[in-house]
Amino acid sequence: DARVTQTPRDKVTEMGQEVTMRCQPILGHNTVFWYRQTMMQGLELLAYFRNRAPLDDSGMPKDRFSAEMPDATLATLKIQPSEPRDSAVYFCASGLGPPGGGYGYTFGSGTRLTVV
């Protein structure tokens, strides 16, 4: 089965450090999403890309978060500097379809980030 691969699976870091999370979407998928899951807020959309171009990153704190797709096989989410409130599980999801499609997305296993 094709799957979305996220690395690392778990990350513990000290406040102020830079954190980079990586996502390998399913080959051929043209849309990539980053979601954050916390107990308080549930699943929140941070950013998403179509054909590697950012479509919406309004859910992301701009001062410390950045999301990129250097190529079609890699999406990155970077936090610099990290803060304890960034502790969460970060999910990447990818999908493919025509503009009128209502297809769902495949999620990766997530990166559990703990900032101490």
Partner 1 sequence: AQKVTQAQTEISVVEKEDVTLDCVYETRDTTYYLFWYKQPPSGELVFLIRRNSFDEQNEISGRYSWNFQKSTSSFNFTITASQVVDSAVYFCALKHPGNTPLVFGKGTRLSVIA
- The contact set with partner 1 (CB under 8 A) reads 30-31, 33, 42-43, 45, 48, 50, 55-56, 89, 91, 93, 95, 97, 99-110, 112
Q: Where are the alpha helices (DSSP H) in the chain?
A: none
Name the nearest CA neighbour of 110 among 8, 3, 1.
Answer: 8
Pick between residue 81 and residue 112 the one whose CB is nearest to partner 1.
112
Pick between residue 18 and residue 103 the one whose CB is nearest to partner 1.
103
Name the nearest CA neighbour of 108 among 74, 65, 61, 84.
Answer: 74
Compute the distance between CA of residue 36 and CA of residue 89 in angstroms, rounded to an integer: 6
Closest distance to partner 1 from the beta carbon of 77 (Å): 15
Closest distance to partner 1 from the beta carbon of 66 (Å): 18
Give me the residue label for tokens 């699976």.
9
Closest distance to partner 1 from the beta carbon of 53 (Å): 11
